[in-house]
Amino acid sequence: MLAVCSRNHTWLITASLVLFLASHALTSVRAQSADEVIAKLSLSLSPDEAEIQKLIIRGYEAYATKAAPALLSMFSQQSPYLDQFKAFITEENAANQNVRLGISINRFNNVLIDGDKATARLDVTIHAVNKDTGKEVEGPGRLAHTFRFVKENGVWKIWQFIDTAEEVTVELFSARTDEERALVLKRYEPFTDGLLKGLSNVAAETLYKKGNDDQAAMILNIVLTIATRDNSLLGTANALIGLGDVYAAQGDYRRAADNYQQMMKLMESLGHKEGIALLSIRLGDIHYYQGNFPQALDHYQRSVDLYEKLGSTEDIAHPLLRMGDVYFAQNDNTRALEYYQRSLKICEQTFDKGGATFLLNRIAEVYAAQDRYEEADDFYRRSLKLQEELGIKSITATTLNGMGSIRYRQGNYSEAARLTAHAAELAKDGYAPEVLWKTLTSLGQALSRAQASGSGTAVVRRSNHDSGKNARPTGGERARPTALF
């Protein structure tokens, strides 16, 4: 979603600026239009400061109402980031079809203007309400955003929009010493909840999509240190959960479980059902990785029950998926399909295309395990069609590797080698090391058989490495956000 950070500021809007541009407000705060918010801007602002702040407010209004043409008209047509921003808006509007959005600008520091260029950093909260039920659902929450502007023919335009946490992370990774990293962090003080949460989300991306445990741990330890110093409960919670994810990825299940249990006690004491539901999935995963399937199912079912009570339909998809994994790992293909299909239906209803592609792959794997290759191929093709819009290379690599595995078991070794070679290239480009390992293993087997038997016609029994039933989620799987709120 969107993102902005805050600093020492010369002015602060006394009440949150709430842009609930829908038929009903999301909270008790009355919805305001952009014009109403603009009317309350300080008269002491310089003309340039006022124009930039108006541009930001109208930009958020256009985002909340999904008015893509209006939003894109605010962007400089000369910006090298325009195409990236267009893709971002298209993806966001598709993902948010079933919700109404509201945006609160929590903190807004002074705009830094340097001639015909300017920078603004903000802390915002993005809310979401289900159009059908009218209930508030899980949205992006608190975020930190950075805008850069350029003045063209006397008119200020957006040059770049970026998650502030991504900026911080790039600089941290470029720093070569602890002293350099300390200077980076000093420049971004004070660290708001939105920025700390954004850093936790970047760490999750680094862990799940790039497979870099060390960099993810570095970010999360920084978040934990700052959150502890500033008494940020949100930052501390997200850092501890994220570090638990790192430990789980490294196979240190005891330390991961300790982190999750610590946070579970806190969430239970606060009565925070969303946090309890999320942590139930994490604890279920710990049991799943170790083959403790009954305990894993108990935790996943608790998550499902809580999300149902909360009316968070879209969030139920994840624990349902994991329950399907448990049954698939136990060769209960019928029940695995049942839970995968239920999860897929939710993803389709909530326009979660990333989740849908992953579920289509899972269903294809079940059919392949039953030697129902035609049905498996059909689901893999459906997944590939969705992936054309998403461009997530690690998931495409997993799909092609699955299709290659079918060709291998059918004895078509040359086609298996072609598919898995392509999958390996995508896994490498997509920074998915575990998916890359699987594809290279499949490729090696396919090439070996092709060389030994030529065109080959023997049907080969499915190998253990190919099933991956008991493996932990990898870079090719659907990464879940670390943040609780």
What is the DSSP track for 421-472?
Answer: HHHHHHHHHTT-HHHHHHHHHHHHHHHHHHHHHTT--PPPPPPHHHH-TTPP
Check: CB of residue 264 under 8 Å from CB of residue 279.
Answer: yes
Q: What is the pLDDT of residue 454?
A: 57
DSSP 19: E
Look at residues 263, 275, 189, 194 and name the one whose alpha carbon lies nearest to residue 229: 189
Which CATH number is 17-168 given? 3.10.450.50
3-state secondary structure of 109: coil
Burial class (CB in 10 A: 0-12, 13-18, 19+), 361: buried
Domain boundaries, the chain: 17-168, 392-478
- pLDDT the model gives residue 30: 53
Answer for the pair 484, 274: CB distance below 8 angstroms, yes or no. Answer: yes
Provide the pLDDT for residue 478: 37
Residue 40 has a pLDDT of 87
State both tokens at 363. Answer: 């269903």
**Region for 211 from its dihedrals, namely left if φ exceeds 0, alpha if ψ lies in -120 to 50, beta otherwise:** left
Positions in the chain whose pLDDT score sits under 50:
1-29, 455-485
pLDDT at residue number 476: 37
* pLDDT reported for residue 268: 94
